[in-house]
Structure 1
Amino acid sequence: MRIAVYIPLLLSLLAPLGVRPLAERCEPRLATWLLTASAFVLGTATTISLGLLAITGLIRFPEPAGLGHWSAHTAQRDDPAELSVALVAGLLLGAAVLMAARMLWRRARTLATAALEAACMPAEDGLVVIEDEAPNAFAIPGLPGRVVVSTGMLHTLDETERHILLAHERAHLTAHHYAFVALTQLGAAANPLLRPLATAVTYTIERWADENAAIATGDRERVARTVGKAALAAHNVPARTPGAALGILGRRTPLAAAGPVPRRVAALLAPPFGRHPVLAAATATVLAAVTLSTAEAAHDLHVLLETVGAR
């Protein structure tokens, strides 16, 4: 455990450096999968690493060691981790578990509320039109989900643009984008260093839906104009969408200096991104290293426990 247990923690520090290349150079569906997997795996691995370190601290004290028939004296002598490190890891582990549990509870409650709200909405082909002059459009996940569009947004867009908007929102539902957001938020709750990955996923799912709309209509430039037009129309409208909703306007938290909508428009006006195998391979390598190092650290702890229990 001298090195392996710290590798997930170290890679969590470096992970935000790969966010911008993945979000801006990689095909959005693949980027979403890679970012989500990275956030979830790193969040899980760092939590396990903190737990392993915390256990090495607990077995140094007679009372916890006695529960497992381990020798506290031997643990104090043979444990490679410093007691101060183990104690800090225990505190961080407690905070990570509490934050992850809080996030899961809030997310589950929000999704349940959204699903109930969607099921109660009268809809035609999954579309709900609400009487509201404020331009707005969003998708509510559920069984089935609903696309909600205000009359103000319908009056703002022409017929082709409405078709683009509906294709965008339905892409959120059919691809289950809320699940990607939830998993990355869970990883970021357990490890705050991963918050840039969660922020990036709220952007890449919008890009994913944009590309689906472009495929459905066959006109990337028209989709770009629709995204920009909808954003301008709703610029001064306060956000009133449910917490679980996914909208054509995207989240208002920028990943970089430029806001998400201008970057989405620029991406649509450029040729479609490729899969970028180098970035995909690099991400897969990092996740494999994290998984293997976590398994190695767990094995090292098992060996340590056998050692302190055998004397």
Structure 2
Amino acid sequence: MTYALLLVVLALVFPWGAAALARRLAGVLRPREACWTLTVAAVLLAGGTVAALVGLFHVPFLAGLEQLSLTRVVEVWPAVVPLACVAGALLLTQFVLLVRRWRRHRALLARAWRAAGVGHGDGDLLVVADSEADAFALPGHRGRPGRVVVTSGMMRTLRDQEREVLLAHERAHLRGRHHLLSAVTDLTTTIHPALRSVREALVFHLERWADESAALAVGNRRVAAAAVARAALAGSGRSHAHGYPLLLVTSGPVPQRVEALLLPEPGPPRGGARRAGIVVLAGTVIAAATAALALAYGLHEFVEYDARQLIGTGPPTGCSSLWSTLHALFGAGAS
């Protein structure tokens, strides 16, 4: 049972360690690269988890398709049926949660568009009459292009240059299609709970990406920092009844965002040691994400190969190569 247990452990444990590595890797990259790193890592880790579960779930069915007796498989690996049932239950749960989360995203977007329908403005800007300070990027929906939605309360709170920062920030969200990165990563959290930390890190780096774009647009990092701080302070404790929660101006840890804006513009990582560290961390994330895929694929290949060998040599007598392979894969499962 050693290797069977290893497969389960890898499927469940790898995402925890790889998620931590992905967050660390994102911390040494520029915001744009950090966002893509976190999103890709989340997708790979979720895919690896699903692949490992599918591999476990399909072993009994694969044996049936290859005209092998499930009884004989159970003799070699007694845990195959319980593990397949658990894997199937987890896959079904993940699917239900994924559908529910997707429908929630669509409902939130539709609600935000209805709330923004009372706004007025020119071009991509909608100003909603509301005393609460709020601002967010509203992604396109049902053929309507994305808009920047700002309440009149927020407009009164900010000074002229700070308004420019706010609008540039939200337009950066729309231009970079940040809602897609955020939604994809949020959906992966239904596959494995370890990916929730990746989602939280992505929220911060998406805001940092938009902050840097806004600072570049106005040409003054201190003004950008002041605008972020003032908007966050004005919007703190509000209900955000009009907002699309994935792209609110007050998202992410604001003090860290302000602090980063008060520093020079981030550049590419420098130094051979730092680049080597990034390569090692990236390689570890990719290896952790693909290991479960490789194990699931290898399990199927072993079973299919030995099934063909068994069928080609006639009815099994004694311990066939299939059972030798299963013993090699799963240890002394029958003992």
TM-score by length of 1: 0.84
Bigger mean CA deviation after superposition, 230-239 or 66-75: 66-75
What does residue 50 of structure 1 align with?
53
The CA deviation at 1:122 is: 4.9
State the Cα distance separating 1:184 from its structure 2 match. 0.7
Structure 2 match to 1:256: none
1: CA distance between counterparts of 2:292 and 2:183? Answer: 25
Q: Please say if 1:290 is aligned against 2:283.
A: no
Q: Which residue of 1 aligns with 2:218?
A: 217
Residue 80 of structure 1 deviates from its aligned partner by: 9.1
**Residue 125 of structure 1 aligns to a residue in which SS?**
coil
Q: How big is each residue's C-alpha offset from its partner over 1:63-120, in whole Å with a ceiling of 9 and x where there is no partner?
A: x854663321332245596544433323222222221222223224434555677789
Aligned with 2:189: secondary structure? helix
Distance 2:298 2:243 in 1: 45
Shift of 1:274: 3.7
Distance, in Å, in 2 between the alignment partners of 1:289 and 1:245 is 28
Contact 2:23 2:38 in 1 (8 A): no
Range that drifts further, 209-218 or 263-272:
263-272
SS of 1:192's partner is coil
Q: Distance in 2 between the 1:116 and 1:49 partners?
A: 42
Match of 1:257 in 2: none
Higher Rg: 2
For residues 167 and 102 of structure 2, the distance between their equivalents in structure 1, rounded to whole angstroms, comes to: 29
Asked if the contact 1:72/1:308 (under 8 Å) is kept, the reply is no
* 2:32 maps to which of 24, 29, 33: 29
Tell me if 1:263 matches 2:266: no
1:199 alignment counterpart: 200
Q: How does 1:64-83 map to 2 (within 5 A)?
A: 66=64, 69-79=67-77, 82-83=80-81
Q: In the alignment, residue 36 of structure 2 is paired with which amino acid? A: W
Q: What is the CA–CA distance in structure 2 between the aligned matches of 1:138 and 1:239, rounded to whole Å?
A: 9
For the 8 Å contact 2:57–2:84, the answer to whether it is kept is yes
Give the Cα–Cα distance (whole angstroms) in 1 for the partners of residues 278 and 284 of structure 2.
10
Tell me the equivalent position of 1:254.
none
- Cα drift, residue 156 of structure 1: 1.2
Q: Which residue matches 2:122?
A: 124
Find the counterpart in structure 1 of residue 12 from structure 2.
Answer: 9
Question: Equivalences for 1:131-170 in 2 at 5 Å?
Answer: 131-142=129-140, 143-170=144-171
Output the CA distance in 2 between the equivalents of 1:155 and 1:116.
23
Cα deviation 1:124-168 (Å, max 9, x = unaligned):
120011111221111100041010111111111111111100000
Measure the CA separation in 1 of the matches of 2:52 and 2:228: 43
Partners of 2:265 and 2:11 in 1: CA distance? 33
In the TM superposition, residue 231 of structure 1 has moved relative to its aligned partner by 1.2
- Are the structure 2 counterparts of residues 120 and 241 from structure 1 closer, same or farther at C-alpha, using a change threshold of 3 Å? closer
Work out the CA distance in 2 between the residues paired with 1:177 and 1:48. Answer: 27
User: What percentage of aligned pairs have identical amino acids?
Assistant: 36
Provide the rounded CA distance (Å) in 1 between the counterparts of 2:283 and 2:120.
44
2:286 partner SS: helix
8 A Cα contact 2:49 2:192, kept in partner: yes
The one-letter amino acid paired with 2:301 is: H
- CA distance in 1 between partners of 2:131 and 2:115 (Å): 21
Letter in 1 for 2:281: A
Q: Do 2:214 and 2:224's aligned partners in 1 also have CA atoms closer than 8 Å?
A: yes
Alignment CA distance shift 1:121-1:204 (3 Å)? same
The SS at the match of 1:40 is helix
* Structure 2 counterpart SS, 1:240: coil
Structure-1 separation of matches of 2:12 and 2:36: 21
* Distance in 2 between residues matched to 1:119 and 1:179, nearest whole Å: 22
Q: How many positions carry a matched residue from both structures? A: 298
Partner of 2:251: 250
How far apart, in 2, do the equivalents of 1:124 and 1:172 lie?
18
Range that drifts further, 182-191 or 230-239: 230-239
Query: For 2:236, what is the secondary structure of its paired residue?
Result: coil
| 1:185-211 per-position Cα deviation (integer Å, ceiling 9, x unaligned) | 111111112111011111111111001
CA distance in 2, matches of 1:45, 1:186: 15
Contact 2:57 2:85 in 1 (8 A): yes
What do you get for the CA RMSD once the two structures are aligned?
2.8
